[in-house]
């Protein structure tokens, strides 16, 4: 069974980390169900375990170190974060982190497809990408619309994904997102779509079972 929690207020990042850690411990102890938590953070940067100091270009926002994989990313209003605390031992015949990351990617791709956005994987690049040529950009231009960062503790997952609905994209200029400075960042609004958080949440919930079913 998977519990869903949707927070309507902005959640401070340290509070989110503490709650994730506690829930993951409870899931491992089999005293709580798996949880998917949909939320937004105040504007901030997070540094994954592979973050390089030179990729932090601005000090205008708080920066939080975190145990997830990856490098720097931005979180803020207008960006939907989905933290997934799942017991992989129960969901997979053989716990497989690569398979789990693929599932997160597939979850985003199926969700975006409901809004006629073709999200794509790119070899060697984490996250989900959009070909920007159909949106008036030069041929070959690509931008990231969703980020992925995970941590696995005793085969229980932490962290998850973020999908850009309508964040202030200028904040991404303060970092080298995920260590890749040759690509842009986009959002559903940037692509000309007026999508609400509620609409995105509904589609995320709709596609979850088909991707992560036991």
Give the residue numbers annotated as catalytic, written as ranges: 178
Which residue, among 50, 52, 46, has the nearest Cα to 65 in the 3D structure? 46
8 A C-beta contact, residue 145 and residue 186: yes
Q: Which helix (H) or strand (E) holds 39?
A: strand 34-39
8 A C-beta contact, residue 173 and residue 57: yes
Q: Which long-range contacts (CB under 8 A, 24 or more apart) does 202-206 make?
A: 203/111, 203/114, 203/115, 204/36, 204/38, 204/80, 204/82, 204/107, 204/111, 205/4, 205/36, 206/114
């Amino acid at each position: 069974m998977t519990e869903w929690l949707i927070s309507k207020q902005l959640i401070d990042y340290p509070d989110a980390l503490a709650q994730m850690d506690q829930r993951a411990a409870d899931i491992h102890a089999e005293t709580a169900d798996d949880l998917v938590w949909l939320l937004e953070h105040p504007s901030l940067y997070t540094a994954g375990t592979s973050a390089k100091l030179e990729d932090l270009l601005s000090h205008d926002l708080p920066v939080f170190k975190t145990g997830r994989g990856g490098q720097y990313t931005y979180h803020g209003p207008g960006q939907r974060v989905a933290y997934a605390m799942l017991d992989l031992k129960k969901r997979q015949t053989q716990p497989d982190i690569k398979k789990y990351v693929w599932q997160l990617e597939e979850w985003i791709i199926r969700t975006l497809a409901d809004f006629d956005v073709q999200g794509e994987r790119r070899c060697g690049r984490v996250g989900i990408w959009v070909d920007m040529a159909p949106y008036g950009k030069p041929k070959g231009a690509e931008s990231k619309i969703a980020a992925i960062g995970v941590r696995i503790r005793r085969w229980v997952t932490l962290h998850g994904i973020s999908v850009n609905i309508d964040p202030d994209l200028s904040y991404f200029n303060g970092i080298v997102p995920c260590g890749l400075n040759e690509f842009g960042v986009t959002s559903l609004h940037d692509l000309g779509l007026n999508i609400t958080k509620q609409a995105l949440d509904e589609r995320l919930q709709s596609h979850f079972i088909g991707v992560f079913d036991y």
